[in-house]
Homo-oligomer: A and B are copies of this chain.
Amino acid sequence: MNAVSTDTRQRILESARDLIYASSYAEVGVAAICERASVKKGSFYHFFPSKQELTLAVIDEFLVEFKERMFAQAFSPDIAPLDRFRKLLEIGYGFQVEMAAVLGHIPGCPFGNLAAELSTQDDGIRSKVDQVFALMERQFAATLHEAIGRGDVPPEVDADATARAMLAFLEGVLLMAKTRNDARVMLELGPAVADLRILKSSALST
């Protein structure tokens, strides 16, 4: 086999990531991705069977970057558990401000954006984003358990549900910031994420 010599595939991936994040899935055509990556369609369809398959790979690409830029720094053992959520928000705020300076608008959450746009149309993408969310929830829940262990959070708190609620809240805050086109919403509302609590054994009917 040939060595994985060229970076063509990666250039396509990164172009797609940037373009889709800056606008939306539907707005970005395969031709635009190719042009930005300086690649011809022949190469594109050599590496990816379809735009939707590419998008699945783009989600992984987003996740890698997210883990590096956000998770790795916020969820550090040096920081008190509950402060890690605040730290995550702080980093996210800086990132949105940075993006807004380049793009002219707040892009919001790449995962949330794709979920909102495509969940009703493409079940593959929907469930991929769902898995990403589940991964984040696990990280949040582990952090909450740590906080419970230290006594920062009472033990009757349902860590899993609270983790989900925190993620939902952050997604909502990001969406509000995007809709207002003002990142400061994140500073105003965000800190409340660390105060969210859902108690165990709330009845769940059906």
Residues on A facing B (Cβ under 8 Å) = 22-27, 103, 105-108, 112-113, 115-121, 126, 129-130, 133, 161, 164-165, 167-173, 175-176, 178-181, 184-185, 187-189, 191-192, 195-198, 202, 204-206
Query: Helix, strand, loop or mixed for chain A's interface?
Result: helix
How many Å lie between the Cα of A181 and that of B115 in the bound state? 11
Q: Indicate whether A23 sits within 8 Å of B120 (C-beta atoms), given known contacts A115-B179, A165-B189.
A: yes
Query: Could you tell me if A164 and B188 are in contact, using CB atoms closer than 8 angstroms?
Result: yes
Query: Could you tell me if B27 and A121 are in contact, using CB atoms closer than 8 angstroms?
Result: yes
Query: Could you tell me if A130 and B179 are in contact, using CB atoms closer than 8 angstroms?
Result: yes
Query: Could you tell me if A179 and B108 are in contact, using CB atoms closer than 8 angstroms?
Result: no
Query: Could you tell me if A22 and B120 are in contact, using CB atoms closer than 8 angstroms?
Result: yes
Across-interface contacts of A196 in B (CB, < 8 A): 192, 196
A204: contacting residue among B172, B175, B181, B184, CB under 8 A: B184
* Distance of A111 from chain B, by nearest CB (Å): 8
* Distance of A136 from chain B, by nearest CB (Å): 11
Q: Indicate whether A175 sits within 8 Å of B179 (C-beta atoms), given known contacts A120-B107, A121-B23.
A: no
A165: contacting residue among B24, B26, B179, B192, CB under 8 A: B192
Kindly report which residue of chain B lies nearest to residue A205, judged by CB atoms: B187
Query: Could you tell me if B133 and A119 are in contact, using CB atoms closer than 8 angstroms?
Result: no
Query: Could you tell me if A26 and B26 are in contact, using CB atoms closer than 8 angstroms?
Result: yes
Query: Could you tell me if B178 and A172 are in contact, using CB atoms closer than 8 angstroms?
Result: no
* Subset of 11 A-B contacts with CB under 8 Å: A22-B120, A23-B121, A24-B118, A107-B120, A113-B116, A116-B116, A119-B179, A133-B180, A164-B176, A165-B173, A196-B196
Kindly report which residue of chain B lies nearest to residue A134, judged by CB atoms: B180
Across-interface contacts of A202 in B (CB, < 8 A): 188, 191
